Amino acid sequence: MKLKPFAIAALFLTLSSILSCSSLTADQTPENLTENFSTSTRTWDNDSEQAFQQRSLAIRQRVASEDLNSLDEWWRRVKLGDPHKYLLPVILARLSLPEQYDPETLWPFLRSLDKDRPDLYHFRAIHDIRLFFLFRDRLPPDLETTYRQMLDSPEVTQWMEQGTENHMFMQRGSGLALIDGSGWPNGAPGVAATNEAWLRAELNKFLTIGQGEFHSSTYYGYAIAGLLNIYDFAKTPELRQLAKATLDWLAANMAVRLSWGTAGGAESRGFDRGTWDNSELAAVAWVWWGDDPQTADRIPQKYAWVGVPAALSSYRPPREMTALAKKDVQLPFLLKASHPSYYSYHQDNQFWETFYITEDYSLSTLLIPFRSYQVQGTINAQYATYKLVIRDPKGVDNAVVSLGGTYHSPTAAGNSTGDQFLQEKGTVLYQLRLNERDIAAEVPTRSHLVIPTRYGEPQKHNNWYIWQVENVWLSVRVWGDTIDWKPQVSEKYSDYQVLAANGVNTAWITEVVSVNDAPNLEALTNRLDQTEVNDRLWTNLGQLSYKSVTGDRLELIYEPNGGIGKGTVNDRERVLGNWAVLDSPYLKQELSSGVLELIHPQGRWKLRTTLTAPQWEK
């Protein structure tokens, strides 16, 4: 592969920046940090590594360009509680570019942050601990003392703080890296043992029943940053093995659902609508598997800074995952997945996900078995339960469509009390029927299909609303007391239009058909005319049956007091209790197996948990 002059310059600048500013010890050089564990994976090939270094440089330059003085003035003016989250990524990125930024101009910011906000907290930890290890030999003595004091008692106990799942990965992972890698005395030795035990438990959970904060486009990047600190800076090989195994598991889950720059699939705590540029997960995925380095310029700062730890890390996802992440595999394929309760280590099969991807789109739905009226904390609003990602052939702006009730948001991005789905390939049946408790909780009597405004007003054919979106047709049939179309969801969400069904009982059928299968509107309507709808019992009993454009027969009978209706596909009742954690042609993990398996053209890659340590197999 012949590199262009820009690529050569970028690679040279990146490597020289990292190597010149790094203070890793002799046994922690970047070369040694990329060593493989067991038979985990071979290193990336030269072309892939060079492309990674170009993206690394681009995203660090993007973050470093932020005005530090303005940020410092801003957080003090608004009395922000977590200023490190905003300033440290810029400082870290600038320190990694010594040819462009003088380190001496950055130390005053660190001093003032520590003076005015001395607490050790998660959003500080992921960047602060990386900064310490990479630039340890350049730190002024007083700043080095600040880090040393983080291991004094009682400060050291802050590294065991509680929080959401990603909070603990940030806090406990970074603290474990500092304790193990610094070589300094630890004022409370039990902290390291406790955090290691927690990390082992989390890895075992992932490899047996899955993850509570599954595929979060908002928080994956933060959790990954904490694990990268252990991987890069811990001295104990066993700790680095634990970090690598957990990173590999997270990377595999990102790879299988990644939809051309959008975090496709169902997710807990997030709803990515962008193309590399609208979520923290996408920023990290771009660093690992992304496209042209110039894409970094359009990644907003609030997402780009989460990519900096990955850009400065020696961790690389196993190369066997690359084709899956880039969807250079045979399509279409189907993934079925089950997820546990949020914090539990034993409550498996609590949520069920269907993910279907073709060359033109990915479509996913999530089943939640209960009706919840909670409006604060880790709530239904933070689950993406219907996400359709339609590929932009130009690779710039994928279309993302949502469908559901509006209890939490008019964009139908989160689960609403009473949402019930049935999916088969590109076809979805959806119902929302409100009971007395729902109405008392003021659940809105409407459901929404939300689609980007740039695709204009839908066309009508009999009872179908039809949009052509890039290389697919999106066809929708809807039931309700009234049906409204609005060119904008609201002034706040002006980039999205809405088709709304109003009434206590609403229902939808959505069909996604490739233009390759229906090259024009007439061909599509001919196929729609061959479908069959039976809604005779829908009004009274919530029973809706449908024969799809692909000939599949779907029936959904609504459960009025629960979260999951009775679903039947081709006369086979939907049974959820035996679903695997991951089940697809390329990625598999049987429930309670402790084994993640990746099937790729060269063979099989496996990650296995044992009582003592993770193991990799080829």
Domain residues for the domain of 545 are 350-576
pLDDT exceeds 70 at position 586: yes
My answer on whether 146 and 287 are in the same domain is yes
**One domain for residues 294 and 374:** no
**Amino acid 382: pLDDT:** 81
In a shared domain, residues 354 and 314: no
Please indicate, yes or no, whether residues 372 and 475 belong to a single structural domain of this protein. Answer: yes
Q: How many domains does the chain have?
A: 2
CA dihedral 261, 266, 269, 274 (to 10 degrees): 20
Alpha-carbon distance 529 to 579, whole Å? 35
Q: Degrees (nearest 5) of the Cα angle 265, 267, 270? A: 115
- What confidence tier does 379 reach under pLDDT thresholds 50, 70, 90? low
Kindly report the backbone phi and psi dihedral angles of residue 481, in degrees, each rounded to the nearest multiple of 5, phi listed first: -65, -45
Give the least confident one: 210-224, 369-383, 448-462, 466-480. Answer: 369-383
**pLDDT, position 380:** 59
Confirm whether 403 is domain-assigned: yes
Residues 467-490: pLDDT tens digits? 999 999 999 999 999 999 999 999
Which pLDDT value is given to residue 211? 96
Please determine, for residue 34, whether its predicted confidence score (pLDDT) is greater than 70: no
Residue 373: pLDDT band by 50, 70, 90 thresholds?
Answer: confident
pLDDT at site 2: 39
Query: Residue 39 has what pLDDT?
Result: 33
Q: Is 294 a domain residue?
A: yes
The mean per-residue pLDDT over the stretch 140-164 comes to 96
pLDDT for 206 = 98
Residue where a domain terminates, one of 561, 576, 591: 576
- Over residues 10-34, the mean pLDDT reads 39
* Statement to judge: residues 355 and 290 lie in one domain: no
Q: Which among 292, 325, 358 is the end of a domain?
A: 325
Res 462: pLDDT: 96
The reply to whether 359 and 321 lie within a common domain is: no
Q: What percent of the chain lies above the pLDDT cut of 70?
A: 92
Q: Residue 26 above 80 pLDDT?
A: no
Are 401 and 481 contained in the same domain? yes
Please determine, for residue 20, whether its predicted confidence score (pLDDT) is greater than 80.
Answer: no
Q: How high is the mean pLDDT of the chain?
A: 92
pLDDT value of position 493: 95
Whether residues 200 and 281 share a domain: the answer is yes
Residue 588 lies in a domain: no
Q: What confidence category does residue 381 fall into, taking pLDDT thresholds of 50, 70 and 90?
A: low
Residue 184 and residue 97 share a domain: yes
Kindly state whether residue 303 falls inside one of the protein's structural domains.
yes
Shared domain check, 321 and 429 = no
State pLDDT tens for residues 243-286.
Answer: 999 999 999 999 999 999 999 999 999 999 999 999 999 999 99
Phi, psi of 434 (to 5 degrees): -90, 130
Provide DSSP, 356-372: EE-SSEEEEEEE-SS--
The answer as to whether 480 is a domain residue is yes
- The per-residue pLDDT for 41 is 38
Give 583's pLDDT tier (boundaries 50, 70, 90): very high
Is the pTM above the cut of 0.85?
yes
Indicate whether 333 belongs to any domain. no
Q: Which range among 15-29, 256-270, 369-383 shows the weakest confidence by mean pLDDT?
A: 15-29
Percentage of the chain lying above the pLDDT 90 cut: 88
Nearest to 449 by CA among 407, 508, 384: 508
Q: Please count the other Cβ atoms lying within 10 Å of the Cβ belonging to residue 43.
A: 13
Q: Which residues of 160-189 are buried (b: 16+ CB within 10 A; e: fewer)?
A: bbeebbbbbbbbbbbbbbbbbbbeeebbbe
Same domain, 230 and 299: yes
Residue 374: which pLDDT band, with cuts at 50, 70 and 90?
confident
pLDDT tens-digit series, residues 93-151: 999 999 999 999 999 999 999 999 999 999 999 999 999 999 999 999 999 999 999 99
| 378 Cβ contact list (under 8 Å, min separation 6) | 164, 269, 342
Buried b (16+ CB within 10 A) or exposed e, 378-417: bbbbbbbbbbbbbbbeeeebbbbbbbbbbbbbbbbbbbbb
Lowest mean pLDDT among 105-109, 354-358, 371-375, 453-457: 371-375
Whether residue 201 lies inside any domain: the answer is yes
Instruction: Please say whether the beta carbons of 161 and 173 come within 8 A.
Output: no
- Say whether both 250 and 365 belong to one domain: no
Q: Is residue 335 part of a domain?
A: no
pLDDT for 13 equals 44
